Structure 1
Amino acid sequence: MATSTITLIVLAIAAILFVTEIIPLAVTAMSVPVILALTGVLDAKKEAFSGLMDTSVLLFAGMFVVGAALFETGVAKKIGDSVVKIAGTSEIRLTFGVMFIAAALSAVLSNTGTTAVLLPVAIGIAGSAGWSRGKILMPLAFAAGMGGIITLVGTPPNLAANAVLNTAKLPPFGFFEFAYIGIPITVAGIIYMLTLGRKLIPDRNPDDMSEEAVEEVKVVPFAKQFISVAILLGVVLIMAFDIIPLHVAAITGALLCVVTGCLNEKQAYRSIDWTTIFLFAGMLPLAKAMEITGAGAIIADSVVGMMGDNVGPYAVMTALFFLSAILSQFMSNTACAALLCPIGLAIANSLGASPQAIVLTIAVAASCAFATPVGTPPNTLVLGPGGFKFVDYIKVGTPLIVICYLVCMAVIPIVWPFY
Structure 2
Amino acid sequence: MSPITIALIILAITVVLFIWEPIPIIVTAIGASIAFAYTGLITIDDIFTGYNSTTIVLLAGMMVIGSSLFHAGITDLIGEKMVRVTGKSERNIILATLIVSCALSSVCSNIGVMTAMAPLVTAMCIAAGVGPSKALLSLLFGAQFGGFVTLVGVGSNATANSVMSELGITPFGFFSITPFGIGICILGTLYFTFIGRKLIPDTGYVPEFAKTDKKPLDKRKAAISVITLLCVLVVIAASPKNMPMHVAAVIGALIIVGTKCMTVQEAIRAIDWNCMLLVGSLTAISTGFKNSGAGDAVAELILKILGENPSPFMVTTVIFFAAAILTQFMSNIPSIMLFLPIGISIAEQIGVSPYPVAMTITLAGAASYATPFAAPQNMMTVGWTHYKFVDFCKIGLPMLLVTYVVVVALVPIFLPY
Q: TM over 0.5, yes or no? A: yes
Q: Partner residue of 1:10?
A: 10
1:198 corresponds to 2:197:
yes
C-alpha displacement of 1:334: 0.9
C-alpha displacement of 1:150: 0.8
Alpha-carbon displacement from aligned partner over 1:87-138 (angstroms, at most 9, x marks no partner): 3223333322221111111111101100110000000111111112122111
Alpha-carbon displacement from aligned partner over 1:246-304 (angstroms, at most 9, x marks no partner): 22222222232222222223322222222221222112112223334433222332243
User: CA-atom RMSD, angstroms?
Assistant: 1.9
Letter in 2 for 1:408: V
- Per the alignment, in what secondary structure is the counterpart of residue 150 of structure 1? coil
Q: Partner residue of 1:347?
A: 346
C-alpha displacement of 1:210: 7.5
- Per the alignment, in what secondary structure is the counterpart of residue 261 of structure 2? coil
Is the 1:370–1:401 Cα contact (8 Å) retained in structure 2? Answer: yes
* In 1: Cα distance, 2:206 partner to 2:115 partner: 20
Q: Partner residue of 1:44?
A: 44
Show the 5 A alignment for 1:390-409. 390-409=389-408
C-alpha displacement of 1:51: 0.7
Q: Partner residue of 2:279?
A: 280
Letter in 1 for 2:34: V
* In 1: Cα distance, 2:342 partner to 2:249 partner: 37
* In 1: Cα distance, 2:144 partner to 2:177 partner: 14
Question: Is the deviation greater in 370-379 or in 286-295?
Answer: 286-295
Show the 5 A alignment for 1:224-243. 224-243=221-240
* In 1: Cα distance, 2:87 partner to 2:150 partner: 33
Relative distance call for 1:127 and 1:298 in structure 2 (3 A) is same
C-alpha displacement of 1:73: 1.5
1:26 corresponds to 2:23:
no
* In 1: Cα distance, 2:162 partner to 2:209 partner: 45
Q: Partner residue of 2:183?
A: 184
* In 1: Cα distance, 2:154 partner to 2:371 partner: 18
Is the 1:116–1:381 Cα contact (8 Å) retained in structure 2? Answer: no
Alpha-carbon displacement from aligned partner over 1:220-254 (angstroms, at most 9, x marks no partner): 52111111112211211222222312222222222
Alpha-carbon displacement from aligned partner over 1:308-362 (angstroms, at most 9, x marks no partner): 3342121121111111111111211111111111111111111112211111111
Is the 1:139–1:193 Cα contact (8 Å) retained in structure 2? Answer: yes
Question: Is the deviation greater in 34-43 or in 191-200?
Answer: 34-43
Show the 5 A alignment for 1:54-69. 54-69=53-68
C-alpha displacement of 1:211: 7.7
Is the 2:15–2:389 Cα contact (8 Å) retained in structure 1? Answer: no
Is the 1:372–1:390 Cα contact (8 Å) retained in structure 2? Answer: yes
Gaps of 5+ in 1: none
Show the 5 A alignment for 1:13-412. 13-45=13-45, 47-206=46-205, 213-215=212-214, 217-218=215-216, 220-243=217-240, 244-412=243-411
* In 2: Cα distance, 1:262 partner to 1:380 partner: 29
Is the 1:77–1:124 Cα contact (8 Å) retained in structure 2? Answer: yes
Gaps of 5+ in 2: none
Is the 2:205–2:385 Cα contact (8 Å) retained in structure 1? Answer: yes
Question: Is the deviation greater in 115-124 or in 73-82?
Answer: 73-82
Alpha-carbon displacement from aligned partner over 1:139-168 (angstroms, at most 9, x marks no partner): 111010010111111112222222232223
C-alpha displacement of 1:186: 0.7
* In 2: Cα distance, 1:94 partner to 1:38 partner: 46
- Per the alignment, in what secondary structure is the counterpart of residue 297 of structure 2? helix
- Per the alignment, in what secondary structure is the counterpart of residue 147 of structure 2? helix
* TM-score, normalised relative to structure 1: 0.93
- Per the alignment, in what secondary structure is the counterpart of residue 149 of structure 1? coil
Question: Is the deviation greater in 300-309 or in 355-364?
Answer: 300-309
Alpha-carbon displacement from aligned partner over 1:182-214 (angstroms, at most 9, x marks no partner): 100110000101111121131231155578635
* In 2: Cα distance, 1:194 partner to 1:68 partner: 27
Question: Is the deviation greater in 21-30 or in 4-13?
Answer: 4-13
Letter in 2 for 1:240: A
Letter in 1 for 2:155: P
Relative distance call for 1:211 and 1:115 in structure 2 (3 A) is closer
C-alpha displacement of 1:2: 4.4
* In 1: Cα distance, 2:105 partner to 2:206 partner: 29
User: Percent identity at matched positions?
Assistant: 37
